[in-house]
Amino acid sequence: MSSRIFKVQDLLHKEIASLIIKDIHNPVISKSVTISSVKISKDLRYSEVFFTSFNKDVKKIENELNKASGYIRNELSKRIHLKRLPQIKFSYDTTADDSQKIDNLIKSIKND
């Protein structure tokens, strides 16, 4: 990937995290969500924002974030000056859950 995509991903990551903390007044979202990464398509039209949460109702949080994506995109357009601001889709980051499962499997194999 080009360095421009990495720069835009980093910028979106910082700005979206800041928006969620400061400007979104939804208690389901603002208290329990951490943005873990942002992936942008090569043409900069689409982005997938990955989040983690300690809250167990991940689907509800994902739905609330996707409902707020229009507002987030509108606020980003005021803060970031890009020719084309990508569409935003939020997805739960399963990396921590997957690594925990692998760790448990390794421990169970060692115990046997």
Sequence-distant contacts of 53-61: CB under 8 A, at least 24 apart: 53/92, 55/28, 58/92, 60/28, 61/28, 61/29, 61/32, 61/33, 61/92
CATH of 3-111, one of 3.40.220.10, 3.40.50.300, 3.40.47.10, 3.30.300.20: 3.30.300.20
Query: Region 47-55: what's the mean pLDDT?
Result: 92
Which own/partner pairs from 95-102 qualify as long-range (CB within 8 Å, at least 24 positions apart)?
A: 95/36, 96/52
Nearest to 14 by CA among 63, 68, 87, 76: 76
- Tokens of residue 32, six digits: 């329990």
Higher model confidence: residue 1 or residue 69?
69
Do the beta carbons of residue 46 and residue 38 sit within 8 Å? no
The confidence score (pLDDT) of residue 1 equals: 64
Q: For the chain, which residues make up each domain, given as ranges?
A: 3-111
Q: Sign of the C-alpha dihedral, residues 77, 82, 87, 91?
A: negative
Q: 68-102: per-residue pLDDT in tens? A: 999 999 999 999 988 889 999 999 998 877 788 88
Percent of the chain with pLDDT over 90: 57
